[in-house]
Chains A and B, each alone.
Chain A
Amino acid sequence: MPLTLYTYASPPRFYALSGLMVPWFWAAAIALTAVGLWMGFFVAPTDATQGEVYRVIFIHVPAAWMSMLLYLVMAFWAAIGWAFNARLASAVARSIAPTGAMFTFLALWTGALWGKPTWGTYWVWDARLTSELILLFLYLGYIALTEAIDDPRRSDQAGALLAVVGSVNVPIIYFSVKWWNTLHQGASVSLTAAPKMATTMLTAMLIMTFAFWAYAFAVVFTRTRARLLERERNALWVRELVAGGGRS
């Protein structure tokens, strides 16, 4: 069977392939997490200014990066699904949203817990945290809209439009929030990690980012597989799948 760009756009082929890949993604996620956290807690030194609390960075920054990346990936696949009427692409986009929203929440939660000992309050309206909050609203809006529409096709298409509009707006929103923040707080103290990070800190953070990425693949693929089974319940490939004992 010749391999083309569209070979795995077919739901049954994707279902089979992703079923093989998911365990490997889990293995990678666990291994990378183990290495990353070991480096982060046992190799990376104590920070000169922040002490030990800076170690939240090993989940805060990966979560924030993933939240932003996943939104763009979601919008991309939603747009592909809309433009080419590709069922799988739309299913993947819908399946990304909850994970993206979760990472956004984690970024905010860990940011708040990092902020309390560092800046004195659980919440600061700095540009990045505020933008992250608005990103959470964008995710929630996407999920709310797509869940409110019963017809899958209309739901996917409306979601795609919203995700694309949101993506275009993200830079505008970020810029305006940055503007708003600097004007209201004057010459702002740098509210991010110390500008120069020790190499070990950076390495651990990057490893954790890849760990989160592997995790995202595993969860999103699992959810996509569930969604495909739900949507294509009456298709021949699903019927054959469950005829064989239904344990795949």
Chain B
Amino acid sequence: MNPLFVQVLVRDLRLAARRRIESLLPLAFFVVAVSLFPLGVGPEPQTLRLIAPGIVWVCALLAAMLSVNTLYAGDLADGSLEQMLLAPHSAVWLALAKAAGHWLTAGLPLILASPVIGLLFDLSTQALGTLVIGLALGTPILSLLGGLGAAMTLGLRSAGMLLVLIVLPLAVPALIFGAGAVDAVEQGLSASGHHSLLGALLIATAMGVPWATAAALRISTE
């Protein structure tokens, strides 16, 4: 295991453990945002069951984008980012470690909470399972894309909004396949096609985005 990867990941997890409340904010946002939709759309169970996959996925997307802001900002501020970039290891490992840390602290809780959220919308057990699998494949994609966005907008004034604007179009395929999988299952079809595509998307993202993130970090810190 690459030492830079391990050390950055352990450091991030340790920092998150020290600020437990802050680490749970994405989860809190997720739950609150998801709950707003029935309030806006009406309590009709049929409607809610229909829109549930889309809502869950969009809110997961937003939770990921909003929590990824501080991925590099803190390290930039106290100078540790420079040190990490000066390390004799490729910045790709740094990007991977940051994305992995983000997924473990922000993505994993979403995955674990999704069955409960799904019950709020009266999804069938099969649909719940599909939702969980889809999120398990999709949230790493979101963490990777979010990391890229964070690296590109590092230190800019309206970094938060800018990041959302940049990354959301790139996350559209994951959203389509993830939410579509649950829809398919609800209609009695198989979700294996959707999940295969999600898996392929995850592999492609993992193979390309960390390099782009490393390049973005170099651009942003020059």
Q: Which B residues between 132 and 149 are near A, CB-CB below 8 angstroms?
A: 148
> Which residues of B have CB within 8 Å of A134?
169, 172
Contact A161 B152, beta carbon cutoff 8 Å: yes
Q: Is A137 an interface residue (CB 8 A)?
A: yes
The one of B148, B173, B183 in contact with A176, judged by C-beta atoms closer than 8 angstroms, is B173
CA distance A144 to B162 in the complex (A): 7
Q: Which chain B residue has the least Cβ–Cβ distance from A139?
A: B169
Known: A137-B169, A141-B169. A165 touches B148 (CB 8 A): yes
Contact B172 A161, beta carbon cutoff 8 Å: no
Q: Is A180 an interface residue (CB 8 A)?
A: yes
CA distance A134 to B166 in the complex (A): 11
Enumerate 10 A-B pairs (CB-CB under 8 Å) in ascending A order: A144-B165, A145-B166, A148-B158, A162-B166, A165-B148, A166-B170, A173-B169, A173-B170, A176-B172, A183-B183
> Which residues of A have CB within 8 Å of B17?
none
Interface residues on A, range: 20 to 34
> Which residues of A have CB within 8 Å of B177?
176, 179
Contact A158 B219, beta carbon cutoff 8 Å: yes
A residues engaging B (CB < 8 A)?
134, 137-138, 140-141, 144-145, 148-149, 153-154, 157-158, 161-162, 164-166, 168-169, 172-173, 175-177, 179-180, 183
The one of B157, B162, B176, B215 in contact with A179, judged by C-beta atoms closer than 8 angstroms, is B176
What is the interface of chain B mostly: helix, strand, loop, or mixed? helix
Q: Is B192 an interface residue (CB 8 A)?
A: no
CA distance A172 to B158 in the complex (A): 28
Contact B219 A168, beta carbon cutoff 8 Å: no
**Shortest distance in angstroms between A101's beta carbon and chain B's nearest beta carbon?**
13
Q: Which B residues between 149 and 173 are near A, CB-CB below 8 angstroms?
A: 152-153, 156-158, 162, 165-166, 168-170, 172-173
Contact B156 A149, beta carbon cutoff 8 Å: yes
Q: Is B208 an interface residue (CB 8 A)?
A: yes
Interface residues on B, range: 20 to 34
Q: Is B16 an interface residue (CB 8 A)?
A: no
The one of A148, A153, A161, A169 in contact with B170, judged by C-beta atoms closer than 8 angstroms, is A169
Supply 18 further A-B pairs (C-beta < 8 A) apart from A154-B222, A166-B169: A137-B168, A141-B162, A144-B165, A144-B166, A145-B152, A145-B153, A148-B156, A148-B158, A154-B219, A158-B219, A161-B215, A165-B170, A169-B170, A173-B173, A176-B172, A176-B173, A177-B172, A183-B183
Q: Which chain A residue has the least Cβ–Cβ distance from B204?
A: A172
- The proximity string for B residues 181-222 relative to A, scoring 1 for CB distances below 8 Å and 0 otherwise, is 001100000000000010001001000100010011001101
Known: A145-B166, A165-B148, A179-B176. A157 touches B219 (CB 8 A): yes
Q: What 4 A-B pairs are tightest by C-beta distance, nearest first?
A: A176-B173, A141-B166, A180-B176, A137-B169
**Shortest distance in angstroms between B215's beta carbon and chain A's nearest beta carbon?**
6
CA distance A108 to B177 in the complex (A): 25
Contact B176 A158, beta carbon cutoff 8 Å: no
**Shortest distance in angstroms between A205's beta carbon and chain B's nearest beta carbon?**
28
